[in-house]
Amino acid sequence: MDNIYLGNLLIDNINSNTDLKKIKLLTEITKYRKNNNDKKRLELMLIDEYDIKYNKPRLLNNINYDEYVKQRLELYNKWYSNKNIKNLYDLLALKAPDYAEIPDIYTFHKNYYKKSSVAENS
């Protein structure tokens, strides 16, 4: 249902004197609002799903990496200012954090209807 259809019903309603067209207009407006609310609800669900699956883990990866870089820089500066074995071992012992594998998806819009696989493409 689109806005043009509702506009045509509104014009027909203005031009006619029957209550039947008014009832039809009201039911169509109600359907339009319900459809619009369903679309908004679906979009909010998709945004939440995107945040949970992709955005929050990506942000956590960035925070962990920034913390790792800070620690590594501190240990490097400590070793660089006083080059001894203990500081070198501390620098070498610092392990990089484990990062979650996150696909390169940067939008919550998905094409659920297109199912492609390697077998179809070959």
pLDDT in tens, 87-121: 999 999 999 999 888 888 777 776 544 444 444 44
| Cα 74 → chain centroid | 35
Of the candidates 40, 92, 29, 96, which has an alpha carbon nearest to the alpha carbon of residue 68? 96
Residue 24, both tokens: 């039809």
Percent of the chain exceeding pLDDT 90 equals 36
The residue behind tokens 């390169």 is 104
The residue behind tokens 């992709």 is 54
Q: What is the pTM of this model?
A: 0.60
Q: Are 54 and 103 in contact (CB under 8 A)?
A: yes
Residue 69, both tokens: 């870089």
How far apart are alpha carbons 105 and 50 in whole angstroms?
9
How far apart are alpha carbons 6 and 26 in whole angstroms?
10
How far apart are alpha carbons 68 and 97 in whole angstroms?
7
Using the predicted structure, report yes or no on whether residue 66 has a pLDDT greater than 80.
Answer: yes
